[in-house]
Amino acid sequence: MAQTIDMVIDWERYAQARERLGGNFWRVMGYLREDGHKSVTMIEEALRADDAVALIGPAELLKSEALQMGALAVAEIAEEIELQARDCVEWHQSPEMLVSDVVRLRQTFEETVDLFEKEASPLLTRKPDFRRNLEFATR
């Protein structure tokens, strides 16, 4: 079982990544969102198939991408899954004990992406005034 997670996001690392990436930030953010979602789905499918080998690659990829953006909790859970899956392969065991970690990974990943998007663009969280937009469009 993974340790208690103290910090979901390292905002300093996030800010450094945003500054370092400049105009490419949104593209990389999209990669994390899309590739991360694919990785989480692949991890879930591998667990359902009782396939420890298939858990390793997507967990390792997700860990790396998450660390780059400062998503510490996602990286920590993904690393735990990766390491436990490697042990399962080595000892020829089922990865069934990872169910709670995989569930936590999905929840934490979605929470993290939401937090990133809110931080990146506070306007995304505001609901548009449709009447106002409609009036403007009909002028």
- Residues 28, 69 contacting (CB under 8 angstroms): yes
For the chain, the average pLDDT equals 86
Over residues 3-8, mean pLDDT: 59
* Residue 122 reports pLDDT greater than 70: no
Report whether pLDDT(132) > 70: no
Q: Which long-range contacts (CB under 8 A, 24 or more apart) does 95-101 make?
A: 95/46, 95/47, 95/50, 95/51, 95/52, 95/55, 96/47, 96/50, 98/47, 98/55, 99/47, 100/1, 101/1, 101/2, 101/77
Lowest mean pLDDT among 14-23, 36-45, 69-78, 87-96: 14-23
H helices within 92-129, ranges in order? 99-120
Instruction: Return the DSSP state at 70.
Output: T
Q: What is the predicted pLDDT for the residue at 130?
A: 44
